[in-house]
Amino acid sequence: MTSVVERLHGGSPVFSVEFFPPRDEAEEIILWRAIRELEAFDPAFVSITYGAGGSARDRTIRTTGRVAQETTLLPMAHLTLVDHSVAELRNVIGWYAAVGVRNILAVRGDPPGDPNGEWLAHPEGLTYAEELVRLCRELGDFCVGVAASPYGHPRSTDLDSDTEYLVRKLRAGADFAIAQLFFEPEDFLRLRDRVAARGCDTVLIPGVMPLTTPRTLAKTVELSGSSVPDSVARRLDPYADDPAGFRAAGIDLVTEVGERLLAEGVPCLHFYTFNRSKATREIVGRLGLVPARAA
């Protein structure tokens, strides 16, 4: 099984994609259509998000296992600390290994129901993502990633302390970090500079979302924790009542962000897909990240 880091060191820039587990049979059909459509584009890896506890967790494991066993794609499974004892975390990590998954994104996770609510550790669980990184590394030959926040985590007091927490996760044994959503290339590049200034040499991957609708723009605001910059608003606001125009302008904008990041030497662009493939395929095609056989 190839690791995420190995796929990123191939000499040419690549892209990766993120999906979430389906909630029902109809969503599963949509998800697998997107997976098959993107498979021909040979993403470096495919990330499956994680719902703590119950059926959501089980769907994540099942979906990740299917990707490992039924496609040519390299899966990366998410894992969070929310509502899990250490024993349960060990079981989930073991399930991932059993289905052939050796790449894990280790994140603390948000409080159920209210991402900005008070975070409480399970009484028999772990408190910090760096502890989860160590647990993954103790239990097997896993390639482990962590999350990074270009604007700082909402619970961090400032960017310096937030960067220090990220460096601690990386030094605990993480192989790479994926930056959550941001609007302008400089936001990611400043994060990369802060990490480098602390003497931490790591693979840092920017996360991007195709801005195809006002809903995806609002989701970017929600997930990034940042308001829409004037430079972005000037591009998109004129198309608030023009769906086709908004989509075209959004695809252009995200393509330009990708071009700047690739010019700055990032090894990979990580696309949040909402379980759809068309916009991602358009952008990676424009950026020249498509293998010759899929072009």
pLDDT tens for residues 123-133?
888 999 999 99
**Residue (of 22, 21, 15) closest to 38 by Cα position:** 15
Residue 225's pLDDT band (cuts 50, 70, 90) = confident
What is the dihedral sign for C-alpha 243, 245, 246, 247? Answer: positive
- Helix residue ranges per DSSP H, the chain: 4-8, 25-39, 54-70, 86-98, 129-139, 159-171, 185-197, 214-224, 230-236, 243-263, 278-286
pLDDT tens for residues 118-161?
777 888 889 999 999 999 999 989 999 999 999 987 777 789 88
Residues 18 and 172: their CA atoms lie apart, in Å, by 24
Domain residue ranges of the chain, discontinuous segments joined by +: 4-287
Output the six-digit token pair for 190: 């400043």
Check: CB of residue 100 under 8 Å from CB of residue 69: yes
Mean pLDDT, rounded, for 52-79: 83
Three-state SS at 253: helix
* Sequence-ordered list of residues with C-beta below 8 angstroms from that of 51, at least 6 positions apart, any chain: 21, 57, 59, 60
Mean per-residue pLDDT over the chain, rounded:
90
- 167-171: long-range contacts at Cβ-Cβ below 8 A with a sequence spacing of 24 or more? 167/195, 167/198, 167/200, 168/130, 169/106, 169/129, 169/130, 169/133, 170/146, 170/195, 170/200, 170/202, 171/200
pLDDT tens for residues 173-191?
999 999 999 999 999 999 9
| CATH, range 4-287 | 3.20.20.220
- 59 vs 214, residue with greater confidence: 214
Mean pLDDT, rounded, for 253-262: 98
Tell me the catalytic residues: 18
What percent of the chain has a predicted confidence (pLDDT) above 90? 72
